[in-house]
Amino acid sequence: MHHPTSSYPIKRFDLSTNTSLKAWSAADEYLLQHVTDLDNPPKHMSIYHDRFGFLACHLQAFHPTVITIQKSQEKAIKANLELNGISLSNFSNPLSSLDNKIDLALIKNPKSLALFQLYLEHLIHHSTEDLTVFSAFMTRHFTPKLLKIAGEYFEEVKQSKAKKKARVMILTQKKHVIRKEIIDTIVYKSRVYQQYWGVFSGGHIDYATQYFLEHMQIRQTDHCILDVGSGNGIIANEIAIQLPDAEIHLLDDSCLAVASAKLNITGAHIYHHFNNDLSIFDDHTFDLIVTNPPFHFEHEINIDTPIQLFKECLRCLKKGGSLQLVANHHLNYKVHLEKLFSSVQVIAQNDKYVIYRCIKTR
Ligand SMILES: C[S@@+](CC[C@H](N)C(=O)[O-])C[C@H]1O[C@@H](n2cnc3c(N)ncnc32)[C@H](O)[C@@H]1O
């Protein structure tokens, strides 16, 4: 087959300051090789979970449909396309229908197995009979559960040899499976929260979130509230129960999280935002900002993103308003918070988590 790739520079376009982190891995390169080795070009290709656009840029000649779940991911991919002078407009997400039936799909495997399954579930209902899937991962991230999930959807599940510590699974002969319910539930205080597969925190309430809900300090005078990284909306909803007249905003980078939160909390004063920063909010807007902030990004840990979010929280708080957050002790956010806020108090802590209350005094 004609070689579809030139070499494109790809940047990370995220907030990580660690310059040793790369914008793609050997798993991405191995996926690319599998496409170039094909005898016949696909008619309709889709790419799932491309992180910064390495695959979208290098495979642009196929006009792929790029399936993303995060606003940050969509922004980074579009920035790399623009950097390389490529126009590609076909973006979608795993909750939407696709215009064309896919015959070749590439999946850069997500860390979440539930998300991997959501991608296969999406694909199986939007593909031709002769669908082939190449799904790639670094060998250290392999788990036999991947084969089990793939086997639910495909008769034939093969694995390539490892190359530069990466491996590709080749899935063919799709099965005729019944559409599955792609929503799980978790229960907190007898309240049922729904969430799409792949949304934080899997099958139960996160322990840090639970600890936060037990100790957060809500004032009756808190009228305008923001939950940053709101996930399924559990923190915002527990606040809404205590302050039914408050205006509550939920913000999350994941469209699956936002769609889940919409199932759990709605109302005249409830606003959902799909974004990865606070640029849509004016200065001095909120009385209270709450967050169980993100610091895991796939297999990487990075606190540059939460620190940037804290800076934006400071800007968006009213004078006298507070940012309250829960964190693992080892992240040592106090040092960073004290550079921003003149008052940083520990309002609760146990051997694992700490809850900070940061007040904007001026
Ligand atoms: C630790 S989880 C907390 C979820 C939810 N609040 C809870 O307690 O169950 C962090 C959330 O932040 C979201 N997130 C990651 N980066 C973000 C960003 N830059 N802006 C907004 N949300 C972000 C993730 O999608 C995830 O839902």
In the prediction, which pLDDT does 3 show?
A: 47
Average pLDDT, the chain: 96
Of the candidates 312, 325, 252, 255, the one whose C-alpha atom is nearest the C-alpha of residue 286 is 312
- Could you report the per-residue pLDDT of 291-338, keeping only the tens digit for each? 999 999 898 888 999 999 999 999 999 999 999 999 999 999 999 999
What is the rounded CA–CA span in Å between residue 250 and residue 270?
8
Is residue 238 lining ligand 1, measured as CB closer than 6 Å? Answer: no
Contact (Cβ atoms closer than 8 angstroms) between residue 53 and residue 76:
yes
Contact (Cβ atoms closer than 8 angstroms) between residue 253 and residue 278:
no
What torsion do the CA atoms of 340, 346, 350, 353 make, to the nearest 10 degrees?
-20
Is residue 117 lining ligand 1, measured as CB closer than 6 Å? Answer: no
Instruction: Check whether 2 has a pLDDT greater than 60.
Output: no
What is the rounded CA–CA span in Å between residue 260 and residue 272?
11
- Could you report the per-residue pLDDT of 227-243, keeping only the tens digit for each? 999 999 999 999 999 99
| Domains of the chain and any CATH numbers | 26-174 (3.40.50.150), 205-359 (3.40.50.150)
Helices (H), the chain: 26-36, 54-58, 71-83, 113-124, 144-153, 207-215, 234-242, 255-264, 304-316, 333-340
In the prediction, which pLDDT does 19 show?
A: 81
Is residue 93 lining ligand 1, measured as CB closer than 6 Å? Answer: no
Nearest atom (ligand 1) to Cα of 257: 27
Contact (Cβ atoms closer than 8 angstroms) between residue 324 and residue 259:
no
- Could you report the per-residue pLDDT of 345-359, keeping only the tens digit for each? 999 999 999 999 999
For residue 41, the CA-to-ligand 1 centroid distance in Å is 38
In the prediction, which pLDDT does 14 show?
A: 85
> Residues of the chain with pLDDT > 90: what percent?
92
- Could you report the per-residue pLDDT of 17-71, keeping only the tens digit for each? 888 888 999 999 999 999 999 999 999 999 999 999 999 999 999 999 999 999 9
What is the rounded CA–CA span in Å between residue 183 and residue 44?
28
Residue to mutate (ligand 1; options 258, 292, 309; most atoms within 8 A of CB): 292
DSSP state, residue 107: E
How many CB atoms lie under 10 A from the CB of residue 278? 23
Quote the strand ranges of 160-313, DSSP E.
Answer: 166-174, 183-188, 191-196, 224-228, 247-252, 270-274, 286-291, 296-297, 300-301
What is the rounded CA–CA span in Å between residue 190 and residue 265?
15
In the prediction, which pLDDT does 40 show?
A: 94
For residue 83, the CA-to-ligand 1 centroid distance in Å is 28
DSSP state, residue 209: H
Instruction: Check whether 121 has a pLDDT greater than 80.
Output: yes
Instruction: Check whether 5 has a pLDDT greater than 80.
Output: no
